[in-house]
Structure 1
Amino acid sequence: MGLTMEKQYAEYFSNNSNDFQEKLLSEAGNVREKIEEILLVGNIDLLNNAHKLVMYSIGEQNVSLNEFARMEGVSWAKHNLTLAFKLEWVQAIRRTVWYFLERFDVDSENKPSHENFFELERQVNDRIDQFLNGFFLSYSKFKDDLIKSQQAMVEDLSVPIIPISPKVCVLPLIGKIDLFRSNTIEEKALMEIARLRIQTLVMDLSGIAQMETEVIHHMMRTIDGANMMGCECVITGLRPEIVRTITKLGLTFENKAETKATLQQALEDYLTPTVS
């Protein structure tokens, strides 16, 4: 499509912006009722953005179109707006664009050749599809990054390693420990041992009511890993149910970790010499 035609189309859509808006709203019945709500929730002006998409679809601004799609995807994801509304809105824009392109030919008595028509069809539809692809990729990336950051925050909260002296840290564990969480505990514990140069890690299990066999084996491997890094492990608060399970498996903390009845006892034993 030539530059002259692009300018003519742009001028035609600009001169008929009110008619375009009315036609667009009639095409997007469900979204029409949500325009003001979306503007309030996400500061997203659907009507103004529709005009931008039309201008991009009939012009040669691929870079601007891609950036526009990216920003739209982020805004839509950030405010948890419904994707179904966005898809309906863009398809309504597509139908309305073609309605006015046809009207342009009628009003201007323009009779495009088959070649020109199919070139126009490819350009307009390809660019609207390009916008949709960019929008959904940006939307998905934002959501994926958000989920990862939330997961990381949850993992940090589920493995709270608390320094109580330059050499001693406490890892209080509460709630259910499944295989996924035990993997997280191992990874976080070993990383923090290296980062903080922990010499003694007190693992308090008083908040754990039971452990599955796989988790117990994994805990043993975590203790082995800590020992290999020069960190002594101290286990406190073991409940009778867990002790019975460990002994049934033929396992023991002997030569692996010290055990104390309570966290308080461990802190008294390991901190009193430091204070004095």
Structure 2
Amino acid sequence: MLLKEAVNVKDKIEEILRIGNIDLVNNAHTLVIFIIDEKDKELQAFAEQEGIAWATHSLAISFKLEWVQAIRRTLWNFFQKYTELHSNVKSFNFFEMEKQINNRVDYFLNSFFISYTTYKDSLIKAQRELVENLSVPIIPITPTVCILPLIGAIDADRTEIIEDKMLTEISEKRIQTLIMDLSGVAEISSDHIYRMIQIIDGASLMGCKTVITGLRKEVVRKITHLGIKLDEDVKTLGTLQQALREYFSK
């Protein structure tokens, strides 16, 4: 009866079991028992467990919603049959039963969605932090010298990440020399050039000398047109290899 109610989900049961190791039919039995036996704590824990499982495997939330609503309808089909068979039982309060059943199904759905979104947000945050770390990789080559190779476009978001990552790493790792390789930077606006210079000045205030390598002619042209002069403590070299040879030899 449940499979007949869940029209769009029944063909996905095997796929969901394969992808997420989630047995929808057995889980439906578990859910119904928790509802009927009024086990609210177990119901919430089960909902949270399900939310994490669905978020982890990025399963379509629409299937879960349809499945639970199909469970609700199936439950009421059975209760309808029950009332028809026990119509003379005065102790049975249909409306109270309706309230309890629907409240617990809604409670399960609410707990599931909270768990799903919370875990999904944590995954997104972790992925964002991973992307940020990969976009601004500060690589130590000696206890006091590190390399920051930058690749791609430098925009407002990335300059903010660069500033936060640079100043944090300089403070925590006591970096004395930071080799910033810009050979992979193809595009940077005038505003962001100014911002990068400010970040380099901030590093200097913390006692870290910046060595810039691999400046492309397009970037150099913009710097000269803007009339920007680098601080005397900032050193420039043609290539990263030159910097590595110099600081490794030291």
| Same topology, TM > 0.5 | yes
Counterpart CA distance in 2 for 1:183 and 1:161 is: 15
- Quick one: which amino acid aligns to residue 55 of structure 1? I
- Quick one: which amino acid aligns to residue 117 of structure 1? F
- Of the three residues 67, 70, 79, the one matched with 1:92 is 70
Which protein has the larger Cα radius of gyration, Structure 1 or Structure 2?
1
Classify the secondary structure of the residue corresponding to 1:221.
helix
- Of the three residues 102, 107, 111, the one matched with 1:125 is 102
Classify the secondary structure of the residue corresponding to 2:59.
coil
- Of the three residues 132, 145, 167, the one matched with 1:190 is 167
- Of the three residues 239, 250, 261, the one matched with 2:238 is 261
Cα gap change, 1:240 to 1:112, in 2 (>3 Å): farther
Counterpart CA distance in 1 for 2:212 and 2:90 is: 82
Greater CA deviation, 59-68 or 32-41?
32-41
Counterpart CA distance in 2 for 1:58 and 1:48 is: 16
Q: CA RMSD in A?
A: 1.7
Asked if residue 153 in structure 1 is aligned to residue 133 in structure 2, the reply is no
Which residue does the alignment assign to 2:84? 106
- Of the three residues 209, 234, 239, the one matched with 2:211 is 234
The Cα of 1:131 is off from its aligned counterpart by: 0.6
- Of the three residues 151, 160, 182, the one matched with 1:174 is 151
- Quick one: which amino acid aligns to residue 135 of structure 1? F
- Quick one: which amino acid aligns to residue 51 of structure 1? H
Which residue does the alignment assign to 1:212? 189
Asked if residue 222 in structure 1 is aligned to residue 199 in structure 2, the reply is yes
8 Å contact kept, 1:223–1:256: no
The Cα of 1:36 is off from its aligned counterpart by: 2.0
Percent of aligned pairs with the same residue? 56
Which residue does the alignment assign to 1:33? 11
Q: TM-score, normalised by structure 2?
A: 0.93
The Cα of 1:91 is off from its aligned counterpart by: 0.6
Mind listing any 5+ residue stretches in structure 1 that lack a counterpart? 1-22
Cα gap change, 1:223 to 1:110, in 2 (>3 Å): farther
8 Å contact kept, 1:24–1:92: yes
Q: TM-score, normalised by structure 1?
A: 0.85
8 Å contact kept, 1:224–1:256: no
The Cα of 1:211 is off from its aligned counterpart by: 0.9
Mind listing any 5+ residue stretches in structure 2 that lack a counterpart? none
The Cα of 1:111 is off from its aligned counterpart by: 4.9
The Cα of 1:178 is off from its aligned counterpart by: 1.4
Which residue does the alignment assign to 1:246? 223
8 Å contact kept, 1:70–1:135: yes
- Quick one: which amino acid aligns to residue 218 of structure 1? R
Classify the secondary structure of the residue corresponding to 1:33.
helix
